[in-house]
């Protein structure tokens, strides 16, 4: 889930398909910024570490 950081309760949070967003980063139409991309990479690495145990 991505938090837009706005104080608005409407559309503040958005569910992301992490693997899909990472795969499409930098492609035409991607709305992902570098900061969010880096967070997704860390999240995937963390999840893979938990799953592999």
pLDDT in tens, 14-50: 888 899 999 999 998 888 889 989 999 999 999 999 9
pTM here is 0.70
End-to-end Cα separation, the chain, in angstroms: 24
Domain that residue 12 falls in:
2-51
Residue of 42, 37, 15 whose CA lies nearest to 26: 37
Domains in the chain, number: 1
- As given in the structure block, the two tokens for residue 28 are 């035409």
CA dist., res. 23 & res. 5, Å (int): 24
């Amino acid at each position: 889930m991505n938090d837009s950081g706005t104080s608005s309760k409407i559309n503040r949070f958005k569910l992301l398909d992490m693997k899909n967003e990472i795969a499409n980063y930098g492609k035409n139409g991607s709305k992902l910024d570098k900061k969010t991309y880096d967070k997704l990479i860390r999240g995937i690495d963390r999840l893979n570490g938990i799953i592999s145990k």
